[in-house]
Structure 1
Amino acid sequence: MTRSPATPLPPPGERRRLREAGALTRDQLAERVGVRPATVRAWESGRSTPRGRSGEAYARLLAGLAGAEGGTGEDGARASAPEHSEHSGHSGHPGHHDRRDRQKAGAMAMAMAMVTVRPDRRGGGTAGPEPSAFVQTPPPSALPSDAPDAAADLTPAQAFDALYSFCAPALVRQAYLLTGRRDLARQSVERAFQLAWDRWPEVARDPDPAGWVRAAAYEWALSPWHRFLRRHRQPEPPPPDEDDRALLDVLLHLPPPYRRTLVLYDGVGLGLPETAAETEATTRAAAGRLLHARETVAARLPDLSDPRELHQRLAELASTGRLRSAAPPAVRGGSERRARFWTRAAIAFTVALIGATTLTLRTAPTRYEPPVPPGETVQGVPPPVAPGPLSEEERELRARLRAEFPGGPERLTPQAR
Structure 2
Amino acid sequence: MRQTWRWFGPEDPVSLSDMLQAGVEGVVTALHDLAPGMVWTANDILRRKAEIAYFADGTTTGLTWEVVESLPVSEAIKTRSGPWREHIAAYKESLENLGASGIEVVCYNFMPVLDWTRTDLAYRLPHGGTAMRFDIADFAAFDIHILARAGAKEDFAPEIVEEAAKRFAQMDAATQKALTAKIVAGLPGAAEHRTLEDVRALLATYDGIGPDQLRAHLADFLAEVVPVAKRAGVRLCCHPDDPPFPLLGLPRVVSTAEDYRALLTAVDSPANGMTLCSGSLGARPDNDLVAMMKEFGARVHFLHLRNVKRESDALKGSFHEAEHLGGDTDMAALVSAVLAEEDRRRAEGRSDASIPFRPDHGQAILDDLSKDSTPGYPAIGRLRGLAELRGVIAGLRYAAAS
TM-score tier by shorter-chain length is: under 0.3
Between 1 and 2, higher relative CO (CA 8 Å, sep ≥ 6) is seen in: 2
Provide TM-score, normalisation by structure 2. Answer: 0.26
TM-score (norm 1): 0.25
- Considering only CA atoms, is the larger Rg found in Structure 1 or Structure 2? 1
